[in-house]
Chain A
Amino acid sequence: MNGFPILSVILFAPVAGALLLVFIPPAEHKLIKAVAATATFVSLALTVYAYAVYDQAVGGLQFVERVPWIKDLGVTYFLGVDGISLPMLLLIAIIGFTAIFASWNVNMRPREFFILFLTLVTGVMGTFVSMDLFIFLLFYEVVVIPIYIMVVIWGSTKRVTKEYAGMKLTIYLLVGSAFLLVAVIAVFIQALLITGKPDFSIYGLARVAFPLGFQRWTFAFMLFGFGSLLSMWPFHSWSPDGYAGAPTAVSMVHAGVLKKIGGYGLIRIALLILPGGAAYWAPTIAVLGVAGAAYAAFGALAQKDLKYIVGYSSVSHMGYVLLGIASLNVIGINGAVANMFAHGIMAALFFSTIGFVYEKTHTRWVPDLGGLFQQMPRVGVAFVLAGLASLGLPGLISFVPEFTIFLGSFGRYGGLSVVAIATIIITALFVLRAVANTLYGPRREEYDHLTDIRGPEMVPLAVLGTVLVVGGLVPSLLFNMINSGVTPLVASVTHTLRIGGVL
């Protein structure tokens, strides 16, 4: 496939689908959904192919596409993937595809819904494949608009109104991106001053030796930008409200992938370009990560709305990711990247399942539910599978990532890691409570008429469930790839730090 622009095709297949949808009559619901599914399936199939043929022995950026765009600013349409971005790309491809099926029953203006959704998927994909900061920010902004519209139109109002949730989500994203923008421009100009050559490419900027003081404050800006996107405590409060307000597909993509742009950006951009700043802020990141992990686990325990439970739980899981990043070593960062993947799959399965529960019972309020295993055993299986993955059950995908995060951080932040590990007890408590009170218990007659998921509704369970199990039993499928990307990155970071005399 030499010369075939595989990444561009992956990237723009959803947009092509969206364009096609424009010409389909709005009443053709089945056809609209089929087109959306096909478009995302093209991306998924090609991503799986890329994942399979990526040469881990060679490593580095592969499937590179490079077209100069704004020469004066050094902006290039520069796509490429390595061991860190490929798993993320695979994640959005999988979740984008399955989210279409989780939205199979959207019958209010489905055409607009899927056009926006496909745009969203492309936006998220773009952030993972672009190796140019300018393009990265461009795609990042593309994401914001569809999300806001989708929450406000297709969302649901519970504790807070969907308008409030949508606004909070959007403003947080925008404020975060404003800080990011400042940091990126500062980095660009500083690099220009040092090298005299305009360059927006991540690897180009990574070669520049920035002064330490400069690194510290720009890293702080990036940390705020990426951190609030990753729902880093205490900038997380958009997350539970946002997920609760959003329609199922948006919750899946948002919790599953979008917030991972934060973690991805911290590793790929902030850490790589500003290693000195990273070393300075790492203890803070670890503290905030563990605080978030523990705090949000307790927060989840106090919830009665299923989406809020998963919302807080995802904040808690991102705390582990931050702890992994803060460890600044190969094992910890491997764990952080793998945990982002694992959590994405699991959160997507969780939100799709809750979506079905809500669609059928018209409630997410746990005290109103119960005994659903008897009427909807498949929903039950999906729920339990997601729950067990969420509490880090060995044999499912999230255990090894968590273990490696703890392993990577234990030596550096002993006490903090112990707190993080102890948190898994609280996680078990709230997950099992949710399972017990939703699925188990006496049969409720008011739900006797419900039908179990079937046909297209089974796709999220089948696809995501398979990934959960296979990823847990054969963790090397994921870890070998991630490791091939993280090892050189950490090597470059430690090298820079040693020269700078920070370590």
Chain B
Amino acid sequence: MYHAWLVPLLPALSFAVISLLTKQWKWLSATISIGAMVSGFIIAAFIAVGVLQHPGLINHPLVYSLRWLSMPGFKVDAGILLDPLSAMMLFMVTLVASLIQIYSLGYMRGEKGFSVFFAYMSLFGASMLLLVAASNLLELFVAWEGVGVCSYMLIGFYNHKISAREAAKKAFVTTRIGDTGLLLGLLSLQLIFGTLNIADLAQKIPQFQNIPLLITVAVLFFLGPVGKSGQFPLHVWLPDAMEGPTPVSALIHAATMVVAGVYLVGRMLFMFASVPPVMELVAWVGGFTAIFAASIAITQREIKRILAYSTISQIGYMMLGLGVGSLSAGFFHLWTHAFFKALMFLGAGSVLIGLHHKADVWEMGGLIKKMPITAVTFVVGGLAISGIPPFAGFWSKGDILDATLASGHTVLFVIGSFTAFLTAFYIWRMIFLCFFGKENPENHPQESPLVMTIPLMILALFSTVAGLIGTPWWDVWGRYIHFGTYVPPVANWPLMIGDTLLGALGIYAAYLFYCKDREKTKALAARQWFGGRLYDVLYHKYYLDELYMWFNHSMVDGVARLMYLFDIYVVDGIVNGVGAFTVAAGEGLRVFQTGRLQNYALVFFLGVLAVGVLLAFTGPHATLFLGGVR
């Protein structure tokens, strides 16, 4: 366990080596990158075993650190914090990242920036792993922005495309807005508690009495996770982020980076739990985002966009779980979601390769015949996210709904349950449209190579079994990852059966609309099904993008232009005015330069007179000034 620092370091070295040395040799670069990540995974697996053997780490995490910065009143010790939570994240991130990098060997084959892609993937891995293992919030923030910048680079990977360029910029600026709040939160914590070490804060914050102040700090702090994890109203960047290569969408914008916000809230749950109003806020933001994004996902046509809104919605679930106080449930969903969502994104990537980047689900159909592995694994992912037992999503989503109900949030419970129905509906709409029904004669799909399908199969396996470690009958998960005292779960049969029915109902509804009567629905959609307006509003994502765009272009740019005009006309006007005045004064004073000796003599005489008067009235000090330097 003392080698945990190697896990982030290896990919960091890989980044340095690739970008400085081996960029010319594509396969060598890829090998280095994958080698670093797989080694990281092996270490992380040993760490996980170690953590399981030391239950004491649950309440007393292992911390080791180095002095990073020190000045009077401000010290930063950067290091590694190991407890079940961070060990789980290390394991999950290295596993998913390894699989996705291997998949990328096939997906990115023949791309121009092959080495650069792997360099960025390594840098991303390093930042993400540092983020989850950080023992200090400032260190965490460095990693937090590091994953952000990798995301920026990778969204803009095809930066010759204008859409990719704009999406990258949008992602960075939008998350930056949230990060500004987080930064303010960090500053406040440092000022109030004099430390940013997570372990120290965990001791000090629960004792802190000034609740209104802590509420302000926690709300500011929460803005960071809202931006990073694509929660309403800062979610707008995530769907556009799909401009990046698909493995990036899978790794960064589904499985790992976007859940960093959830991780941070979970890591700092001791702070949020001290201020119940903020917990309510977290829960409501999560619940609202879940249903909001799900409603948009129903109408989208691009396969990756549907998955992106699905991700936003699922992260909403995780926030809901944390907000109602269940660290265990929120993170369980994070864990299972990483597998099934990565699976579905990689599956979508496989479809896109097979169809030469045709992304509209309405133009697909019957792909299961030509792409059986992709289709079957995708269906596994679909079952998992829809909450059909025994697939992974059933257990984790059930835990969240259970915790929501148990904490007395009935409205949020209803929202969550309805979202579960919507989720099954929109995911299976996509599955039926893509893989089932009649084949589109324009398409000539073929199954992807093994280097891509093997990761799919492994992820499908995890999507099936990853939930089994947290069942009411065998709850390894909850015993290790929980907040406060551990309460063994009880099987809530009505809820479990209800969940399953909701999911099944969603799938059945999707079957009716998109498999059985596909052509009829298509005609309906073309005629703006669902009563015109509503469909439009959903399809255009509630027009939020347009609103933000308007704000940015007319307000922000307007102020900028105003300031600039002020600068060149008022500020410079004054400066130039002073200049012109000086010139004019010079012209005026020229009058006195008469060139007549008599005039000069007169002025000289008056000057001497003045000095004489001054000397006479001011005494010895003046002598010192005027000729008396000695």
Contacts and interface: CB of A to CB of B under 8 A. Distances in A.
A407 B74 contact: yes
Interface residues of B, number: 55
A406 B160 CA distance: 37
A interface, size bucket? 35 or more
B23 to A, nearest CB: 10
Interface string B136-150: 001001101110010
Contacts of A404: 71, 74
Contact of B162 (A301, A407, A422, A441): A441
Interface in B152-169: 156, 159-162, 164-166, 168-169
A204 interface: no
A388 B149 contact: yes
Contact of B70 (A237, A428, A436, A476): A476
Contact of B187 (A406, A433, A440, A475): A406
Interface stretch (B425-433, B488-496, B567-575): B567-575
Contacts of A192: 624
A302 B557 contact: yes
Contact of B564 (A299, A428, A439): A299
B605 interface: no
Given A303-B564, A429-B556, A439 B159 contact: yes
A441 B557 contact: no
A440 B165 contact: yes
B63 interface: no
B355 interface: no
B561 A331 contact: no
A424 B567 contact: no
A29 interface: no
B623 to A, nearest CB: 12
Contacts of A424: 176, 180, 183
B611 to A, nearest CB: 17
A236 B574 CA distance: 12
Contacts, number: 140
Given A299-B563, A330-B72, A407-B187, A374 B160 contact: yes
Contacts of A487: 71-72
Contact of A422 (B70, B166, B180): B180
A338 B71 CA distance: 13
A278 B514 CA distance: 74
Contacts of B73: 329-331
B559 A298 contact: yes
Interface string B591-630: 0000000000000000000000000000001001100011
B69 interface: yes
A212 interface: no
Contacts of B557: 301-302
B173 interface: yes
B69 A475 contact: yes
B69 to A, nearest CB: 5
A393 B145 CA distance: 7
B562 to A, nearest CB: 8
A186 B208 CA distance: 52
B191 to A, nearest CB: 6
A192 B164 CA distance: 67
A341 interface: no
A407 B191 contact: yes
Interface in B22-71: 67-71
Contacts of B579: 171
Interface string A324-335: 000001110010
A414 to B, nearest CB: 10
Given A299-B564, A421-B180, A424-B180, A394 B146 contact: yes
A463 B68 CA distance: 23
Q: Top 10 nearest A-B pairs by Cβ distance?
A: A301-B560, A302-B564, A394-B142, A440-B159, A440-B165, A302-B560, A298-B563, A394-B145, A298-B560, A483-B71
21 contacts: A72-B629, A168-B575, A192-B624, A236-B571, A298-B562, A299-B563, A299-B567, A331-B72, A331-B73, A331-B74, A371-B160, A373-B159, A388-B149, A393-B145, A403-B138, A418-B184, A425-B173, A425-B176, A425-B180, A441-B159, A487-B72
Interface of A: 72-73, 168, 171, 189, 192-193, 234, 236-238, 295, 298-303, 329-331, 334, 371, 373-374, 388, 391, 393-395, 399-400, 403-404, 406-407, 410-411, 417-418, 421-422, 424-426, 428-429, 432-433, 436, 439-443, 475-476, 479-480, 483, 487
